[in-house]
A and B are shown apart, each in its own frame.
Chain A
Amino acid sequence: MIWLAVGITGVACYLLKLAGLSVPPRVLERPLVERIADFIPVALLAALIAVQVFSRGHSLAIDARAVGLGVAVVLLVLRAPFLVVVFGAATVVVRQAAPPPGPPSPRAASSPSRGAGPGPGRGRSPRSGRAA
């Protein structure tokens, strides 16, 4: 199924690009079409964020992903580059969620720790791994 979706998306996205270069502008260049096309990425990306961050299956949930999104907002306000935003959000969630088996970084203790952190893994003391 995933391969099918990859194939459909690839063909469709190519044809959408080719159509723009090939179709006479009169067919599509209308104010209404342009406005909707301008809003579509905004609506879809906002919806994707909402679903990705605040839902799990069919229920709404606030967990470590919300903290990651908050970090992303801060990084974007600070004009951080794309990769810093993406991996910065991931890094903070790692520190909040499940400490990896290795010794945690010393900075983990001073990272912002919210009361509403995720359940599993939080019981461990940040120092417990350092003896290893």
Chain B
Amino acid sequence: MTDAPLDPAERSSIIRDSLGVGVATGAYGVGFGAVSVASGLSVAQTCALSLFVFTGASQFALVGVIASGGAPVSGALTAMLLGTRNTLYGLRLAPLLAWRGWRRALAAQVVIDESTAMSVTRATTPAARLGFLTTGVSVFVLWNLATLAGAVAGNSIGDPRTYGLDAAVGAAFLALLWPRLKSRRHQLVAVAAAAVALGTAPVVPAGVPVLTAAAVALLAGVLTRNGETR
């Protein structure tokens, strides 16, 4: 990785793009805050999730499992499985960002979909760091503020079912899933996983059907060994 300094035009273009992504993503936090308190979490628990978990799909998964009556531990396991993709992002980012020690420990918290997307394509370490930090920090700040706003608002409007917020949980998951249905194979995995979850729902404890669906991902990964083109 080269360490060539950034020229001012590149610098401002990276900052502008990253802030745009940060603002757009951070605003989702309103949806998370509202959905989380509708699922039965307190405002403090909701804000703790955004501060410490800080990876949207995992947060939605935890509150979604709790909302459907599952054990919180099943929700935590689901959230962890969803969080594994951040490990792969980190693998790609490590040589590019080239941080060590406490900088690496701090940077780890903002390794998410958006900060990865805005840095992994950069040609130099300074450009990658700028895109990563601008996106990561702006999403972090706005996501947490928006979570608080959504949680307080959701808390003050009373029984969530009256306001359809339990339906919003499904819509939020669908919006997170939608961009991932890029190939026929991904669509098949989604349909099979949904079928497995619904098939097991009547016979296993709540929260477990979602975990059994992870087996579909394992199976699909093993079975598609030699057919990347389809």
Contact = CB atoms under 8 A, between A and B. Distances in A.
Interface string B164-193: 111111111111111011000010011111
Contacts of A16: 80, 83-84, 86-87
B5 interface: no
Interface residues of A, number: 79
A7 B30 CA distance: 22
B75 interface: yes
Interface string B35-66: 10000111001001101111101101110111
A94 B105 CA distance: 44
Majority secondary structure, A binding face: helix
Chain A CB within 10 A, most for which of B40, B107, B166: B166
Nearest to A2: B72
Contacts of B86: 13, 16-17, 20
B117 interface: no
A21 B107 contact: yes
A64 B189 CA distance: 26
A50 B197 contact: yes
A85 B217 contact: no
B186 A39 contact: yes
B85 A37 contact: yes
Contacts of A98: 161-162
Contact of A20 (B65, B111, B166): B111
A14 B109 contact: yes
Interface string A7-22: 1111111101111111
B64 A52 contact: yes
B73 interface: yes
A16 B54 CA distance: 12
Contact of B45 (A6, A8, A81): A6
